[in-house]
């Protein structure tokens, strides 16, 4: 079979394209950082995602919004390999997957934060952030080179990267504190630091601003934008605060009952009657917050 490229696979055929592992033969520049084709997922009788098609370009900030239970977290969980889709195909640049091996995520340049924090509560902030670089050297290789100049250099580089991101996210005072002992807003920042330290190509953020103060929200938003501006990360941001969404994102996709009901610029989406009907027209938890 000749190598298939993303552009060569018609939308209606993407379901059955390139099953399983990454297709190393299909290397074409200009691919989206993330492509989803016909992704569907059900839990028993509940359809969490229905035929989702979505692309995120390198350097693009895509917000995913929608009511509670719309399927937003399920989408990120599929992209990060925690859930396996019933149908569909995913593309990370030139790599294609039916279900994403979590072990390959970091090597693909994908990092994420969780709606409910997933820090190592018994480790310091510094060690948590360092975990974001744990994939850089395989354990077996590390054992072979332990104590060598190479091992020391890798360790020094990783430590310097962790220190840099800790400083830029204003976590220096908390550097040696146990993550679990910190206020919620600070823990959210530590999780973002851990996701940023490897300078990901694709950054997946599940409600990174939920439950933080307005001032923290403004500051965290700047760090998210900076990840795009300074190293060109593509970002998928799940967020309920419409002010933040409109101010931060280049494009907005709207989910409702597992379907994508809109996908466009913030202004297009805000004016879309279907979106107003499904989401914007009704009160939701953060609608009193101000824009950044
Ligand atoms: N692990 C799971 N087991 C069973 N059902 C699940 C699971 N994860 C999600 N669901 C269901 O899938 C649907 C989508 O849930 P999901 O968490 O993706 O929504 P969401 O848009 O992130 O909502 P929220 O805004 O409340 O975080 C819901 O009906 C939810 O109950
Ligand atoms: Mg969610």
Q: Is the Cβ atom of 46 under 6 angstroms away from ligand 1?
A: yes
In a domain, 168, yes or no: yes
**Listed residue (13, 72, 62, 64) closest to 37, CA to CA:** 13
Residue 144: inside a domain, yes or no? yes
In contact, 249 and 262? CB cutoff 8 Å: no
The answer as to whether 154 is a domain residue is yes
- Rounded distance from Cα 238 to ligand 2 centre (Å): 8
Which ligand 1 atom is nearest residue 207's CA?
27
Q: Lowest mean pLDDT of 65-79, 147-161, 232-246, name the range.
A: 147-161
What's residue 5's pLDDT?
Answer: 38
Residue with more model confidence, 106 or 54: 54
- Is residue 177 in a domain? yes
Q: Is residue 145 part of a domain?
A: yes
% the chain with pLDDT above 70: 83
In a domain, 57, yes or no: no
Cα dist. 125→48, 128, 181 in Å? 34, 5, 10
Q: In the structure, what pLDDT confidence band is assigned to residue 29 with cuts at 50, 70 and 90?
A: low
Candidate from 106-110, 147-151, 173-177, 226-230 with smallest mean pLDDT: 147-151
pLDDT tier at 251 (50, 70, 90 boundaries)?
Answer: very high
pLDDT at 212: 87
Query: Does residue 137 belong to any structural domain of this protein?
Result: yes
CA distances 20 to 8, 14, 56, Å, are 18, 13, 21
45: Cβ contacts below 8 Å, ≥ 6 apart: none
Stretch 91-120: mean pLDDT: 89
Q: Specify the ligand 1 atom closest to the Cα of 41.
A: 12
pLDDT the model gives residue 140: 63
- For 248-285, give one letter per residue: b (16+ CB within 10 A) or e: bbebbbbbbbbbbbbbeebeebbebeebeebbbeeeee
Indicate the number of domains in the chain: 1
Is 70 close to ligand 1, i.e. is its CB under 6 Å away? yes
- What pLDDT sits at residue 176? 98
Distance CA 25, CA 2 (A): 9
Q: Mean pLDDT lowest for which of 139-153, 160-174, 278-292?
A: 278-292
How far does the chain reach from its first CA to its final CA, in angstroms? Answer: 51
Which pTM value belongs to this model? 0.85
Q: How far is the CA of 7 from the centre of ligand 1 (A)?
A: 31
Asked if the structure places residue 146 within a domain, the reply is yes
The residue among 244 and 8 whose pLDDT is bigger is: 244
The phi and psi torsions of 49 (rounded to 5 degrees) equal -140, 135
CA of 70 to the centre of ligand 1 (A): 7
Any atom of ligand 1 within 6 Å of the Cβ of 21: no
Domain range spanning residue 171?
122-184
pLDDT-derived band of residue 17, with 50, 70 and 90 as boundaries? very low
Instruction: Label residue 137 by pLDDT band (50, 70, 90).
Output: low
């Amino acid at each position: 079979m000749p190598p298939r490229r993303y552009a060569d696979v018609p939308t209606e055929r993407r379901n059955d394209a390139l099953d399983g592992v990454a297709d190393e033969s299909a290397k074409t520049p200009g691919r989206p950082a993330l492509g989803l084709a016909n992704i569907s997922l059900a839990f028993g009788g509940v359809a969490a995602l229905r035929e989702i098609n979505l692309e995120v370009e390198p350097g693009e900030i895509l917000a995913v919004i929608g009511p509670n239970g719309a399927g937003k977290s399920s989408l990120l969980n599929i992209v990060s390999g925690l859930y396996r889709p019933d149908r569909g195909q995913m593309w990370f640049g030139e790599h294609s997957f039916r279900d994403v091996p979590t072990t390959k995520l970091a090597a693909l340049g994908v990092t994420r934060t969780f709606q409910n924090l997933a820090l190592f509560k018994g480790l310091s902030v510094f060690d948590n952030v360092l975990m974001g670089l744990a994939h850089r050297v395989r354990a077996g290789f590390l054992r072979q080179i332990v104590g060598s100049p190479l091992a020391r250099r890798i360790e020094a580089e990783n430590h310097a990267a962790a220190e840099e991101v800790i400083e830029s996210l204003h976590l220096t005072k908390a550097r040696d504190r146990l993550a679990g002992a910190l206020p919620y807003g600070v823990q959210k920042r530590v999780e973002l630091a851990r996701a940023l330290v490897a300078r990901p190509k694709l950054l997946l953020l599940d409600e990174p601003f939920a439950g933080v103060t307005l001032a923290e929200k403004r500051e965290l938003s700047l760090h998210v934008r900076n990840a795009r501006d300074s190293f060109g990360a593509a970002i998928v941001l799940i967020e309920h605060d419409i002010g933040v969404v409109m101010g931060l994102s280049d494009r907005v996709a709207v989910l409702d009952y597992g379907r994508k009901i809109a996908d466009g610029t913030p202004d297009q989406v805000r004016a879309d009657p279907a979106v107003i009907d499904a989401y914007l027209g009704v009160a939701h938890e953060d609608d009193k917050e101000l824009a950044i």
